[in-house]
Amino acid sequence: MSIVHLSAQALLLRQSLSLSPPPSFYSSTSYLSPSPAKFLLRSSTSSITTLHPAKLRNGRRLPFLTRASLSGFSESIGDILGDVGVFTASGEPVMFKDLWDQKEGVAVVALLRHFGCPCCWEFASVLKEFKPRFDSAGVELIAVGVGTPNKARLLSERLPFPLDCLYADPDRKAYDVLGLYYGFSRTFFNPASAKVFSRFEALQKAVKNYTIEATPDDRSSVLQQGGMFIFKGKQLVYARKDEGTGDHASLDEILDICCKVPVA
């Protein structure tokens, strides 16, 4: 698929959207999905510029600084997210708290935009390459996308991607809880999306068997941005919100952080 085709697809999706305007207290260009606890307003600085040490439940601090800010998250975010229900790619309902060991397990939770996003196919292909390394480090990889389970299976079958770590969140519940960005300008015009062009060859390879049929039936879902999170048990130790389409975290950095998380 050429960049011309990708651009055409973006235009098609933009024209097909039937959206209500965002609430008046949000920016007209971009806003955060509301958290059930409170609305998290976007800072004027990037979400990855603040150095913030993560604190474990027993009072010890991790011996490293994450590049992502944790200041916007409640200390109980692990409990809140744990009660969110999603679906396996085969269609079985499951709670987040059942996806990894809630006491000592280390989990990487990668939230894709949606299953029909070409950039997410490229990112999913990188996640697949890293999965053996996460497994060797004892880290649970959890990939979540917006859409129904049948959309998840399209990505899994065509990319391909392992079904056992792929989950569907059709109502974007996890995205709302984590306050991930949502908006028209972030999706199509954010400068952070320019990173995609540096990965053009990888993108072309990833979308070799791409189908637009993986796009959610609710077209408003294509305005959702993703993010990357690391948990130890219920404790959030790393959080990064994608600034725009294709603005993904470095998996080398994610793996390095996971390897530095103290074990029991």
The winner for highest mean pLDDT among 10-19, 52-61, 185-194 is 185-194
In a domain, 81, yes or no: yes
Helical axes 118-136 vs 251-260, angle rounded to 10°: 30
What backbone phi and psi angles, to 5 degrees, belong to 232?
A: -115, 110
Quote the pLDDT of residue 264.
57
Any residues with CB less than 8 A from the CB of 30 and at least 6 apart, and which? 42, 181, 182, 183, 184, 185, 186, 190
Task: Look at residues 117, 247, 239, 118 and name the one whose alpha carbon lies nearest to residue 191.
Answer: 247
In a domain, 8, yes or no: yes
In a domain, 253, yes or no: yes
Quote the pLDDT of residue 170.
98
In a domain, 20, yes or no: no
In a domain, 89, yes or no: yes
CB atoms within 10 A of CB 30: 21
In the predicted structure, residue 99 carries a pLDDT above the cut 50: yes
CB atoms within 10 A of CB 136: 10
- Domain CATH number, residue 96: 3.40.30.10
Confidence of residue 41 (pLDDT cuts 50, 70, 90): very low
The whole-angstrom separation of Cα 50 and Cα 66 is 8
220 alpha-carbon distance from chain centroid: 17
In a domain, 76, yes or no: yes
Q: Which own/partner pairs from 251-257 qualify as long-range (CB within 8 Å, at least 24 positions apart)?
A: 251/126, 251/127, 251/130, 253/67, 254/108, 254/228, 254/230, 255/130, 255/133, 255/134, 255/137, 255/139, 257/64, 257/66, 257/230
pLDDT digits (tens, 9 = 90+) for 151-167: 999 999 999 999 999 99
pLDDT digits (tens, 9 = 90+) for 240-251: 999 999 899 999
In a domain, 22, yes or no: no
Domain encompassing residue 178: 3-15+34-260
Confidence of residue 39 (pLDDT cuts 50, 70, 90): very low
In a domain, 125, yes or no: yes
Question: In the chain, where do the E strands start and end?
Answer: 31-32, 85-88, 93-95, 106-114, 139-146, 166-168, 181-182, 227-232, 235-241
Quote the pLDDT of residue 172.
98
CA atoms within 13 A on the CB side of 232: 19
What backbone phi and psi angles, to 5 degrees, belong to 184?
A: -65, -50
Total structural domains in the chain?
A: 1
Selected residue with higher pLDDT from 24 and 88: 88
Q: Judge contact between 70 and 52, C-beta under 8 A.
A: yes
